[in-house]
Amino acid sequence: MKKNCIDTLRKGMKPFMNTLQKLKCDQDKIRNSQLEHVHTLTSLMKLFITSLIELGTDDSKNVRNYFLQYLKMELNFLSRQNSSQTQHKYQNVRKELSKLQAESYSRRPEVKTEIAKLKNELEELQEEIINFSLGLEHMFRELGQVYEAALYGEIR
């Protein structure tokens, strides 16, 4: 009886171990890909990292904090400025879609086609709005990815 339980447990662990091994392999592939991209950082990230390093001394703690606060405000301003036009378009398309959906009881094929086209346009505009949003947290997240990739490269 005890042997049957152990055999059943081993059989149940095999798929789990295979999945775990596959996940580890996928993670290694991702880390290798990140490691390749570490050497080709964007000019923005190079400038950001250089600024943080130069402002990294204890004497310049206030300057570094001021720099980060100012950068955060500027990035938020640029994001809002660039996305406001797109958000206005998004609202107009959404209103138009709502009108068509209210009229869709006619079930005319051209109305259905127009609704599908407007839904597609809404998705594209939503993607644009998301792409416009660049904040300080995005830069730190990318910096963290660079750090993890570099650390993984050293361990290997």
* Cα separations in angstroms, 98 against 46, 95, 101, 108, 124: 45, 5, 5, 16, 17
Contacts for 90 with CB less than 8 Å, ≥ 6 apart: 122, 125, 126, 129
- The chain-wide mean pLDDT, for the chain, equals 79
Would residue 66 count as lying in a domain?
yes
- Asked if residue 8 has pLDDT above 60, the reply is yes
**Residues 129-151: what's their mean pLDDT?**
82
- Please say whether the beta carbons of 143 and 97 come within 8 A: no
pLDDT (average), residues 18-23: 81
pLDDT tens for 43-61 read 888 888 888 888 877 666 7
Q: What is the pLDDT of residues 25-42, one digit of tens each?
A: 888 888 777 777 666 778
- 63 within some domain: yes
Map residue 39 onto helix, strand or coil.
coil
Q: How many domains is the chain built from?
A: 1
For residue 72, pLDDT over 70 is answered with yes
Contact 83, 132 (CB under 8 A): yes
Q: Using CA atoms, how far apart are residues 129 and 23, in angstroms rounded to an integer?
A: 32
Domain annotation covers residue 126: yes
d(CA 42, CA 59): 29
Q: What is the pLDDT of residue 10?
A: 66
Q: Which stretch of 1-5, 24-28, 107-111, 135-139 has the lowest confidence by average pLDDT?
A: 1-5
Q: Note the pLDDT tens digit of each residue in 99-115.
A: 887 776 656 777 778 88
Does residue 21 lie in a domain region? no
Domain annotation covers residue 151? yes
Provide the H-helix boundaries in 39-135.
Answer: 43-54, 61-102, 109-132
**Structural domain that includes position 95:** 41-155
Tell me: pLDDT of 142 over 60.
Answer: yes
Handedness of CA 55, 61, 65, 67 (dihedral sign): negative
Residue 14, amino acid? K
Residue 97 included in any domain: yes
**What angle do the packed helices 2-38 and 136-155 form, to 10 degrees?**
110
More confident residue, 119 or 33: 119
Mean pLDDT score, 77-81: 80
Q: For residue 135, is it within any domain?
A: yes
> Does the pLDDT value for residue 127 go beyond 80?
yes
pTM: 0.54
Alpha carbon distance 63, 65 (integer Å): 5
Amino acid identity, residue 49? I
Does any domain span residue 17? no
